Amino acid sequence: MESGWMEKSINLIDTDILIIGTGIAGLSAALKASGAGKRVVVVSKAAVGKVTNTSLGGGLFTFATDTFPVEAHLKKTMESGRMINNPVMVEHMVNLAPSRVRNLIEMGLKGQFHETGFRCRTSGYLGGPHLSSVLVNACRKAEMEFFEHIMVTDLLVDSDECRGAVGFHKQSGKIIGFRSNAVLLATGGAGAIYAHTDNAPGATGDGYALMLEAGLELIDMEFVQFYPTAYAGTGRARMMLPAAFADLSPILNRLGEDVKEKYQIKDKPVAVVSRDRLSRALFKEIRMGNGMDGALQLDLRETDFGSIPNGPAMVKTFKKRLAFDKKPVSVGPTCHHTMGGVATDEAGRTDLKGLFAAGEVVGGTHGANRMGGNAYCEALVLGDAAARSALAHRPNAKHPTDFKTLAENAVKKKIRFFDSRSETTPAIDSPRKKLAAIMWEKVGIVREEKSLTEAVEEIDAVLESIELNKGRTPGGLCKIIESRNAALTGRAIAVSALKRTESRGSHWRDDFPHEVENWLQHIHVQMSEGVPQIRRIIPIPVRPLKVCR
């Protein structure tokens, strides 16, 4: 890599709609935006549709059916979210999800309907890869252009309007400024900032950091969902196991005690109905030293999988990977989903003109906890709506700053992280690991004032140490920027969790173990003095819920 690569000229691309992200939110938005006679450009950090949470997902869609009325879907979603959900967004999702999923089925999505929706899959147990390939194939046939392996580093804002974004190719280092009439952010969540996660490695909270740096507020960041039983055989709990596994065997600690029995967790399926309690129980057992190599054990050697729905498919998918017929499986809790994010309306509009958002990067629909199968539906419905809004957006005709200058200014700020002559590869792995450990131990499943306060200070120290890093290659630079995004997102989560002095949904405070009615409020964070800080706390609007019939 030549010296001064980042000072070289920026390649400019002009487009009508720029979509950042190729998970279900980005690709469904791209499909809606294509064919309207506008230029649609789609950018992703990896190959199109690859290394996304969408492609790792189980394939479950929850929506109203003949036996599960739309009112029931709405009620359950609000109950899971502990009534802190944005009711307009929930209504929008429950009303539109059935038709949006049917569109996907018409496009070739395979699977089975069930009482509360649809599970997509082909032969294996997991439906995510199939879902991604259906979306990618449809997009490849439609009118749009893809830019793969592009790390978007900044949204470009001029006189209160988003005018595009800038990023670079992770291998070649080519810098691209995307000048666009509308930008649609679909960058997913931030599970990968935790030491244990089943998320894609690129889920480093880039979208939250991009929006914070563009001046936007994020809401509900304290609500992070953990899943109790992930395969932890490698020392890290990273592969979510089917919920049924947790019901099929005791979950044993080092002393031979069944954790479900010890904590009186009985309602089945425990990994769904008692997801948070079971996650806490497993976390506490491991923290007390009652784990084995940092995990608990599930003994499935004698299990008859034939008696459970999808048993043969489960066996096919997991037996080879886990060898569960030969030895007990190590399990532990893992970070699964980020409920908070940027606030949008039901049309996917953010507070910044020209910027739209959809998918896991958006906060509001899921409230304090997400009901299983709602993430895909929410991303589908909001992706579609945000694309319509982006198509309809009319940007200001004149801006004070020329676009190239805007892009160059953004690149100049990132140059501090790059030096092609630097002798060493970036030592960024160490702050990233430190951050992951802080998030897991102090901002994770079990939280309290003391550890959260320490966490905020420690995250600030991590942010400072990141500033000292310099990448020698575009790949090295990408790692540094991802780490900084992760730390900014982690701080947004930590300060919000510290502020919320109650326990609600996925947010558990050992020092405030009850839900408090006065806390039916959204915590907003915004950038201030270079870091995310609490901006304001706003009571949720009280209004009757509506559904369409």
Ligand X SMILES: Cc1cc2nc3c(=O)[nH]c(=O)nc-3n(C[C@H](O)[C@H](O)[C@H](O)COP(=O)(O)OP(=O)(O)OC[C@H]3O[C@@H](n4cnc5c(N)ncnc54)[C@H](O)[C@@H]3O)c2cc1C
Q: Using CB under 6 A as the criterion, which residues of the chain lie in contact with ligand X when the complex forms?
A: 20-26, 43-46, 52-54, 56-60, 150-152, 167, 186-188, 198-200, 202-203, 206, 240, 336-337, 359-360, 373-376, 379
Angle at 87 between CA 82 and CA 91, to 5 degrees: 120
CB of 136: closest distance to ligand X in angstroms?
11
CA angle, corner 454, sides to 448 and 460, nearest 5?
A: 130
Take residue 507 and report the two structure tokens written for it: 């947010």
**202 or 291: whose CB is closer to ligand X?**
202
* Inter-residue contact 513 to 521 (CB < 8 Å): no
The answer for residues whose C-beta is within 8 angstroms of residue 209's C-beta and 6 or more apart is: 484, 485, 488, 489
**262 or 388, CB closer to ligand X?**
388
What one-letter code names the amino acid at 370? R
**Residue 229 main-chain phi, psi, to 5 deg:** -120, 90
Q: Which residue is nearest to ligand X (CB)?
A: 23
Residue 447 DSSP code: B
Is residue 354 a contact partner of residue 393, using CB atoms and an 8 Å limit? yes
- Residue closer to ligand X (CB basis): 202 or 354: 202
Give the count of alpha carbons within 13 A of 178, CB side only: 33
Side by side, the strands of the sheet bearing 329-338 are 239-240, 224-231, 329-338, 296-298, 251-252
Residue 123 C-beta: closest distance to ligand X, Å: 17
Instruction: Yes or no: say if 32 and 39 are a contact pair by the CB < 8 Å rule.
Output: no
CA separation for the pair 342, 351 (Å, rounded): 9
Rounded-to-integer distance, Cα 321 and Cα 331, Å: 14
C-beta separation of 55 from 39 below 8 A: no
> What is the DSSP code (8-state) at residue 187?
-
For residue 35, what are the contacts with CB-CB under 8 A and spacing of at least 6? 142, 143
Contact 180, 327 (CB under 8 A): no
Cα separation of 129 and 50, whole Å?
A: 9
